[in-house]
């Protein structure tokens, strides 16, 4: 044991490295020294209060000067302020004691009067994705508790999907339903770039006490610096990875990945990256796969990812939506027209897909799902003729069947916010619908 302690002592760096602030421009702080690497956290001793340190991260270099970005607003920083290198990237405290807590991007309670429980472990927010050869295949269905998903878009434990929608179509409500009704053991919910008003509304109304009991919420509101918004996504993902490594089935819900991309665009432009597609910098399309690939399965447990994607003007082909859709294992389209007709959740099942459903669903389930999709598709293709009265009953047997089933299918796909259905109940309801015309 003494030899082990000697080895540790021999490796300890007893020097503290300092630099000094020479310039502040917008979001960026330029420092002469200390020796630090990209991603390392530094403490900036403010001029007004030497006991108070401003946390900042090294994001780049320019002419041998260090470029830092603070986690909080730049206040009380002036020329000559000391910059101390910590020698390590951002770490957060993790453990079972976090369940039921609401945290900020640095892993600290959002309520200033609250303290973290004892016995938590340190965990780095920057992690590498699991080795592809060490990822077990997805073979087990996940109960989401939403009929439209469990029946026609069946998800597996460790799958990653995107919820694509414009504003005000019901993304947050759907996430709350999944958090309460899912068969996962722990939910980690990242609210990135949300309005301050919506945070408490989501926790109290959409998530509710039932959902919060098995959830950890990480919040970075829209008024916070870009780096805090990005770190919110990384902290939530790191907490999910910690529980996955312990063997838990975890749901990671991020609302929204689009605002993470916007925050990275701010940082990229500030450090001098050239804007490319729609003003997004190359680093945006570099960090997205690294962040999203961290979830999924590993040898111990699973992280099932739900990432909401905001689409400007309901354009599903805008750059971030297109990039995310290519990375994930499926996409659910929330349709504004369905929401306007009062169908909630407003999932357009014909435009949505789960890429693992064919592997995890049994043959009877797949056959019933395909039959239901065909009935919906047939009705949609002929909807104009049916609406204006140009179609005569008896002309086509498939269209007649689609018309007769349509009201029952729509009623089946609707679900109240607090209506809870198990996976087996949903499959039985779909079977009853197809065989008897009632749900």
Per-residue model confidence as pLDDT tens digits over 31-86: 998 888 888 999 998 766 556 788 899 988 888 899 999 988 877 788 888 898 88
Q: What is the pLDDT of residue 386?
A: 86
- pLDDT band with cut points at 50, 70 and 90 for residue 213: very high
| Cβ neighbours of residue 317 closer than 8 Å, sequence gap 6 or more | none
| Residue 427 vs residues 394, 414, 423: alpha-carbon distances, Å | 31, 15, 6
Per-residue model confidence as pLDDT tens digits over 186-201: 999 999 998 888 899 9
Q: What is the pLDDT of residue 288?
A: 95
- pLDDT band with cut points at 50, 70 and 90 for residue 439: very low
The CATH number of the structural domain formed by 12-89 is: 2.40.30.20
Pair 153, 354: CB distance under 8 Å: yes
Consecutive H or E run containing 198:
helix 196-201
Q: Which of 232, 241, 211 is nearest to 303 (CA)?
A: 241
Rg (CA), the chain: 25
In the chain, the percentage of residues whose pLDDT exceeds 90 is 64
Q: What is the pLDDT of residue 50?
A: 58
DSSP 8-state symbol, 252: E
Q: What is the pLDDT of residue 438?
A: 46
Give the residue extent of every domain in the chain: 12-89, 92-358, 364-436
Report the C-alpha gap between 328 and 331 in whole angstroms: 7
Per-residue model confidence as pLDDT tens digits over 281-298: 999 999 999 999 999 999
| Residue 197 vs residues 122, 193, 202, 223: alpha-carbon distances, Å | 31, 12, 9, 12
Q: What is the pLDDT of residue 431?
A: 94
Q: What is the pLDDT of residue 351?
A: 94
Question: In this structure, what token pair is assigned to residue 100?
Answer: 């039921």
The CATH number of the structural domain formed by 364-436 is: 1.20.1270.330
Mean per-residue pLDDT for 195-208? 90
- pLDDT band with cut points at 50, 70 and 90 for residue 321: very high
Backbone angles phi, psi at 224, to 5 degrees: -85, 155
Fold of 92-358: Rossmann fold (3.40.50)
- The shares of helix, strand and coil residues in the chain, as percent rounded to the nearest 5, are 40, 25, 35
Mean pLDDT, the chain, as a whole number?
90
Question: In this structure, what token pair is assigned to residue 107?
Answer: 């892993």
17 vs 264, more confident? 264
């Amino acid at each position: 044991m003494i030899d082990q302690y000697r080895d540790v002592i021999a490796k300890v760096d007893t020097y503290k490295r300092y630099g000094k602030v020479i310039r502040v421009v917008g979001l960026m702080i330029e420092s002469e020294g200390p020796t630090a690497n990209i991603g390392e956290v530094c403490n900036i001793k403010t001029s007004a209060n030497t006991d108070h340190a401003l946390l900042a991260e090294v994001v780049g270099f320019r002419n041998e000067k260090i470029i830092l970005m603070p986690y909080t607003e730049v206040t009380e920083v002036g020329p000559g302020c000391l910059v101390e290198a910590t020698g390590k990237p951002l770490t957060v405290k993790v453990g079972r004691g976090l369940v039921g807590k609401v945290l900020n991007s640095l892993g600290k309670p959002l309520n200033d009067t609250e303290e973290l429980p004892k016995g938590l472990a340190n965990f780095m927010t920057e992690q590498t994705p699991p080795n592809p050869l060490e990822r077990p295949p997805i073979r087990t269905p996940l109960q989401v508790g939403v009929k439209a998903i469990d029946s026609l878009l069946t998800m597996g434990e460790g799958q990653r999907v995107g919820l694509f929608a414009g504003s005000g179509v019901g993304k947050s409500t759907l996430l709350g339903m999944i958090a309460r009704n899912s068969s996962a053991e722990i939910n980690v919910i990242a609210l990135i770039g949300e309005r301050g008003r919506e945070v408490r509304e989501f926790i109290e109304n959409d998530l509710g006490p039932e959902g919060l009991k098995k959830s950890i919420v990480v919040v970075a509101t829209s008024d916070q610096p870009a780096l805090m918004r990005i770190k919110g996504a990384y902290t939530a993902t790191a907490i999910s990875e910690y529980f996955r490594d312990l063997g838990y089935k975890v749901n990671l819900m991020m609302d929204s990945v689009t605002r993470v991309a916007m925050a990275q665009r701010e940082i990229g432009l500030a450090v001098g990256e050239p804007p490319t597609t729609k003003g997004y910098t190359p680093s945006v399309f570099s960090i997205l796969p690294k962040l999203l690939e961290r979830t999924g399965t590993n040898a111990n447990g699973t992280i099932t990812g739900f990432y909401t994607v905001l689409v400007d003007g309901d354009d599903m082909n805008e750059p971030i939506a297109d990039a995310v859709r290519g990375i994930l294992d499926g996409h659910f389209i929330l349709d504004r027209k369905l929401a306007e007709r009062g169908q909630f959740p407003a999932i357009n099942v014909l435009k949505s897909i789960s890429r693992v459903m064919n592997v995890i669903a049994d043959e009877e389930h797949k056959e019933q799902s395909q039959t239901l999709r065909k009935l919906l598709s047939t009705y949609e293709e002929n909807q104009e003729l049916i609406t204006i009265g140009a179609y005569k009953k008896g002309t086509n047997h498939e269209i007649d069947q689609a018309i007769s089933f349509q009201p029952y299918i729509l009623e089946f796909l609707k679900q109240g916010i607090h209506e809870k259905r198990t996976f087996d109940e949903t499959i039985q309801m779909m079977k009853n619908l197809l065989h008897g015309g009632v749900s």
